[in-house]
Amino acid sequence: MDGYLAARAGRDRARGLAEDRVKRRALVDGGIAAVAIGGAGLLTGSLTRTFGRGGKSAAKQSAAPVSSAPAPAGPAPSVPAASVPVGGSAQVKDPATGDAVYIVQPKAGQYCGLSSVCTHSGCAVDAPKNGQLYCPCHGSRFDAATGAVVNGPAVKPLPRYGVTKDGDQLKLGPLQS
């Protein structure tokens, strides 16, 4: 494009066109070319977005799921009560989200579930140890009995779940907070 404009400017000068007219023609023609190239690019991008790059991708798009509804909850996850000693924990999955949950027994006969997803930025917190759950990403600490923040940067407690004892099994209940 530059070569074409330079050649034409040379011809214009040879024809005796004033220098300011030579420059103006080059500016106008260069601008028109830029607008034409930009417009073609926009049109191409628009058509690609509208119709896709090929039949296969268009077919894939129409087959994509349209619902973002949560997965149906299955039976309540459970663990043997013997696997959760006082101060210890066992891990299950929230059937609705797939997130890991620690079933804990902070005091004898007292059970609850604590989400393993750190409320700061979503890292997985470690299993309870010495009465706390530690997040290795930025150092937040949570109380293993309540999920409350002991040490930031997290400011929100870990979500809590109910837990019921059914015979020798501990069953994860609904999310409480």
Interface positions with ligand FES (CB under 6 A): 118, 120-121, 123, 135, 137-140, 153-154
Q: How far is the CB of 136 from ligand FES (least distance, A)?
A: 8
By C-beta, is 139 or 174 nearer to ligand FES? 139
By C-beta, is 48 or 121 nearer to ligand FES? 121
By C-beta, is 29 or 143 nearer to ligand FES? 143
Q: How far is the CB of 53 from ligand FES (least distance, A)?
A: 38
Among residues 111, 122, 149, the alpha carbon closest in space to that of 133 is found at: 149
Q: How far is the CB of 114 from ligand FES (least distance, A)?
A: 14
Q: How far is the CB of 127 from ligand FES (least distance, A)?
A: 15
By C-beta, is 118 or 163 nearer to ligand FES? 118
Q: How far is the CB of 104 from ligand FES (least distance, A)?
A: 18
Strand 141-143 relative to strand 169-175, pairing: unpaired
By C-beta, is 87 or 153 nearer to ligand FES? 153
